[in-house]
Amino acid sequence: MFTRLSTAALVVLLACALPAHAQDWTFTGGDGETVILDARPQRIIAHQDAAAGLIPLGIRPVGIYADSAIEAAKALEGLDLSGIEIIGTAWSEVDIEKAAALEPDLIVAEWWDRNSAWSGGADIARTLSPLAPITGVAASNSIVGMIEDYEALAASLGADLDAPAIAADKAAFETARAAFEAATAAKPDLKAVAVYAGNDAIYFADPAGAAELLDLQSWGLDLITPGGVDSAGNNYFETVSWENADKYPTDLILVDNRSAATLETALAQPTWTLNPGAAAGQVADWPAFWLRNYAAYARELAKLTEVIDAADASVVP
């Protein structure tokens, strides 16, 4: 049995009543709602990003729904998925019969304030919510903060956060972050921009909409904030025609690496090299929206640091 209460309602309930015994498990999700269960959940279905946050912490879901084919899901790269049922491999789609057969106690996703929806889309939330309550962390202004939120969730689910593997992953990340900060400090004039390349247009990312970009900014990378982000529509990017690919000239371009096809699309555009960074070949991976654990973050930071160390910070006229 489960009950879902708003935070305000939960406070009133606890203030006005003295229950005979405390509930065995509660968690307040990124949407502000508190889920109360009679026992700690054991059978969890997770969105791919939530799974990427939980598996390295020792919490293995019984099922995962992904936004793409599993082999293309960047968040799940390098994770052991053996024994986990895959119940969805496309955005906003899930096999409800497979999901029901797993008899889940809990659905774990991520709450995205800019969309006011759980990861995977509102349709999936409506489909899965009759099976079990939905909760999870919020997509925030820092991947490090999100990882810490996953640690809190995992601990509530029974994870041992003192496990040697977890400590090793965090240490590797701290080393990678220190190297990244040293690289950016050595090149304070290096200007960068993050983009997604489409066949129809180039999309300049708003760092405020991407937790990993905000992290990189806080660690010294000078990232351009585009001026034409449409808060009423695509509120993560400014859409610019390929004819104006040099609208934001920079020394370094970070390209969304959720698919290798994105960089291939950019390189195929005749106007790609109008941007000085592209002309100089100073292009790096942007781990866009998918980092959820220290091991993956350490790997991506090391790649970025190598590019920054080799970059010329004066290619913009």
Burial of residue 232, with CB atoms counted within 10 A of its CB: 0-12 exposed, 13-18 middle, 19 or more buried: exposed
Measure the CA dihedral 181/290/233/284, to 10°.
50
Helix (H, G, I), strand (E, B) or coil at 80: coil
Final residue of a domain: which of 116, 141, 160?
160
Q: Are residues 301 and 203 in the same domain?
A: yes
Helix (H, G, I), strand (E, B) or coil at 32: coil
Q: Are residues 154 and 234 in the same domain?
A: no
> Tokens 């489909």 identify what position?
127
Residue 254 domain boundaries: 165-310
Q: Are residues 135 and 229 in the same domain?
A: no
Q: Are residues 171 and 263 in the same domain?
A: yes
Least confident of 163-172, 213-222, 233-242: 233-242
| CATH at residue 239 | 3.40.50.1980
Residue 105 counted as domain residue: yes
> Tokens 């489960």 identify what position?
2
Q: Are residues 142 and 235 in the same domain?
A: no
Helix (H, G, I), strand (E, B) or coil at 302: helix
Total tally of structural domains belonging to the chain = 2
Q: Are residues 154 and 182 in the same domain?
A: no
Q: Give the predicted TM-score (pTM) of the model.
A: 0.90
Q: What is the mean pLDDT of residues 157-184?
A: 98
Sequence-separated (6 or more) residues with CB below 8 Å from residue 186: 309
Q: Are residues 99 and 239 in the same domain?
A: no
Per-residue pLDDT tens digits for 72-82: 999 999 999 99
Q: Residue 11 pLDDT more than 70? A: no
Q: Are residues 122 and 83 in the same domain?
A: yes
Residue 41 counted as domain residue: yes
Q: Are residues 202 and 302 in the same domain?
A: yes
Q: Are residues 154 and 194 in the same domain?
A: no
Indicate the residue type of 109: A
Q: Are residues 55 and 142 in the same domain?
A: yes
Q: Residue 181 pLDDT more than 70? A: yes
Residue 317 counted as domain residue: no
Q: Are residues 141 and 200 in the same domain?
A: no
What pLDDT, on a 0 to 100 scale, did the predictor assign at position 5?
A: 46
Beta carbons within 10 angstroms of residue 80's beta carbon: 10
Final residue of a domain: which of 126, 160, 194?
160
